[in-house]
């Protein structure tokens, strides 16, 4: 049996903050693997600016050098909204011998009770709550008796935002050392994020790890 962390997100684009958060969870919980699952059609927000296959390709590039990181296209392949409970059910069906841990940011964890079928989700997998950069947050237990458990994960974080990265690209500024070099090259070669973002993105809250859906919905 393998213990696999699940890190979802739009990953528009994936950046070093996502990777550091995943590494913190991997070390703290002795995870055998961490699987990154870019969402196909996130139900909780406006659609990503780049196509699902581009976001999946960037996740593949970003995780390729880490022997315990994986890029899974589970949500990209599935039509319709990318609900986390559906993803976990599909993975349990595909890998019945493995145990899964949902990795979310400390800002996202309180919202999980509003996700689709939250009681069922908490009963399917444990949850790892990664602290925001520079903060150590108390984590309340889940409001469901059948929950598999919640663990707080601390460690060094990187205050990087996909929103800021996209804006830098739009302005023609460098994003190296914010994203892996291979992702920076991919963005440039594919011409991603060169158009202005909608106003809703321009006025989004201050960024931190988890801003771009570390976890799900």
Q: Determine the Cα–Cα distance for residues 28 and 131; give it in Å rounded to an integer.
A: 12
Q: Determine the Cα–Cα distance for residues 169 and 40; give it in Å rounded to an integer.
A: 23
User: Is residue 214 pLDDT above 70, yes or no?
Assistant: no
Q: Which residue has the higher pLDDT, 111 or 203?
A: 111
Q: Determine the Cα–Cα distance for residues 42 and 24; give it in Å rounded to an integer.
A: 25
Q: What whole-number percentage of the chain has pLDDT above 90?
A: 74
User: Is residue 115 pLDDT above 80, yes or no?
Assistant: yes
Kindly report the average pLDDT of the chain as a whole number.
88
At 213, is the pLDDT very low, low, confident or very high (cuts 50, 70, 90)? Answer: very low
What average pLDDT does this structure show over 101-125? 94
Q: Report the greatest alpha carbon distance in the chain.
A: 51
User: Is residue 20 pLDDT above 90, yes or no?
Assistant: yes
Tens-digit pLDDT profile for residues 21-54 = 999 999 999 999 999 999 988 776 666 789 999 9
For the chain, the structural domain boundaries read 3-202
What average pLDDT does this structure show over 138-164? 90
Q: Determine the Cα–Cα distance for residues 11 and 58; give it in Å rounded to an integer.
A: 8
CATH architecture under which domain 3-202 falls: 3-Layer(aba) Sandwich (3.40)
- State both tokens at 120: 């069922």
Lowest mean pLDDT among 38-47, 91-100, 104-113, 164-173: 38-47
At 137, is the pLDDT very low, low, confident or very high (cuts 50, 70, 90)? Answer: low
- From 22, 215, 30, 32, select the one nearest 127 (Cα to Cα): 215
- State both tokens at 193: 């994020």
Q: Determine the Cα–Cα distance for residues 24 and 135; give it in Å rounded to an integer.
A: 14
- State both tokens at 21: 């958060």
Specify the pTM.
Answer: 0.88
Tens-digit pLDDT profile for residues 57-85 = 999 999 999 999 999 999 999 888 889 99
């Amino acid at each position: 049996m393998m213990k696999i962390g699940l890190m979802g997100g739009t990953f528009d684009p994936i950046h070093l903050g996502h990777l550091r958060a995943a590494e913190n969870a991997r070390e703290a919980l002795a995870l055998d693997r961490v699987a990154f699952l870019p969402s196909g059609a996130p139900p909780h927000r406006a659609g990503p600016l780049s196509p699902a296959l581009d976001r999946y390709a960037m996740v593949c590039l970003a995780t390729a050098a880490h022997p315990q990181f994986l890029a899974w296209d589970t949500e990209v392949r599935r039509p319709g909204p990318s609900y986390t409970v559906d993803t976990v059910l599909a993975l349990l069906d595909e890998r019945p011998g493995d145990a899964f841990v949902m990795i979310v940011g400390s800002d996202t964890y309180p919202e999980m009770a509003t996700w689709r079928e939250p009681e069922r989700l908490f009963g399917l997998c444990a949850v790892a709550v990664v602290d925001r950069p520079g903060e150590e947050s108390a984590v309340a237990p889940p409001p469901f008796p059948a929950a598999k458990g919640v663990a707080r994960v601390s460690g060094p974080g990187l205050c990087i935002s996909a929103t800021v990265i996209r804006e830098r690209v739009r302005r023609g500024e460098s994003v190296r050392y914010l994203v892996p070099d291979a992702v920076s090259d991919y963005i440039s070669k594919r011409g991603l994020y060169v158009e202005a973002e909608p106003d809703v993105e321009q006025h989004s809250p201050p960024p931190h790890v988890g801003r771009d859906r570390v976890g799900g919905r």
